[in-house]
Amino acid sequence: MSKARPQNASFKQRMEIHKVLEERLHPCDDGTDRFRYEDGWSDERVSQSIDERLTKSSTATVRKEMFGELKKAYNVRSRHRLGGRITALENQLRRLLQLTLCADDAALVLGNNEDNITPAE
């Protein structure tokens, strides 16, 4: 048996979508006016919870009208890359602090100042 033809939301379904969105969307606590879904929820899941024939764009339209854009979630790969970038920045900051706080000693260790670092005065 084939799946029923996708459909746009009727007014009644749009009201149901709004009700589910009110339950499953939560404001972000990052100072923005954006929302995020509860874990495991998405536009598609909201649509399917109301009627399997509803398209996810029906939910997206209602969500954007009532709540605006979603806050982008970091996926695991993005978190890993972000963690690597933070570690690299921490290492650079540590080196910068060592060179700044111990500029005279750093100049002695570096000898000819290969990194073109000017000691702090």
Backbone angles phi, psi at 71, to 5 degrees: -75, 135
Could you read off the pLDDT of 3-31 as tens digits, one per residue? Answer: 566 678 899 999 999 999 999 999 988 77
pLDDT above 50 (res 2): no
Could you read off the pLDDT of 48-75 as tens digits, one per residue? Answer: 999 999 999 999 999 999 999 887 655 5
**Lowest-confidence pick of 16-20, 31-35, 114-118:** 114-118
pTM: 0.56
Count of Cβ atoms closer than 10 Å to residue 79 Cβ: 11
**Confidence bin at 91 (pLDDT 50/70/90):** confident
Share of the chain above pLDDT 90, in %: 39
